[in-house]
Structure 1
Amino acid sequence: MKKTLVIGASTNPERYSFKAISMLREFRHPVVAIGLKKGEVAGVSIETEPLSFEGVDTVTLYLNPKRQVDYYDYVLSLKPKRVVFNPGTENPEFYKKLDEKGISYIEACTLVLLRIGQY
């Protein structure tokens, strides 16, 4: 199981971050989440501050590239094995920073990766 940090988490069931948290839990992955508003999805508390989560394997992003800038150093400090850039979050500037730190990344949909067994 891959501990996953969802950045851009929402309690709105229409949002893909909500669906991702729910599906990650369904597939038994440990999940932590950061969003604009506190709340809870599928038993996962959404934090509003970047906490120092331990053992994060994967970071999955649901923020547009402009909003990601504030999280560059934070994500790098967690030293995840990979970062998933979901559709609409693609960010070549961030890719360079991840490359410099030896962190892999993928442009993909977390929901699809889970469904096809490639997560």
Structure 2
Amino acid sequence: MRDASSTNSSLAITNDQLENRRIISDNVSAKIQREKGELKRKYAAGMDGKAKLMAELNGVSQDLESLQIDSEKWHEGSDKLTDQNNKLFGAIKTNATKLSNAQPAAKKDPRDAHRQEQPAPGHHR
């Protein structure tokens, strides 16, 4: 059997070890709580940042939709102008062709001028 002094000595070491382990455990728990709090703050900041980015992305998406609509309207207007220009150029080309194919008007003979000025026979001025 062990004597009382050796048993007390053995218990004293065990108590010191237990105290050290309790201190280490408390320190680890405190560190875990700090890191957990930091992670919660980072998560909250990340979610806030995500919400801001989503709002910004939504705004950009709406801007793109608006630009697409404006672009479509511009193309529609541009197509109408192109059609109008094509019609005008077609009409100009048609008229130019008609003019170039038309017979020149008969030139008046200066010798015929006096005949037109004279009254018909039997009519006096």
TM over 0.5, shorter chain: no
TM range (shorter): under 0.3
Q: Give 1 or 2: higher strand fraction.
A: 1
TM-score by length of 1: 0.13
Work out which of the two has the higher radius of gyration on C-alpha atoms and give 1 or 2: 2
Q: Give 1 or 2: higher helix fraction.
A: 2
> RCO higher in 1 or 2 (8 Å CA, sep ≥ 6)?
1
TM-score by length of 2: 0.12
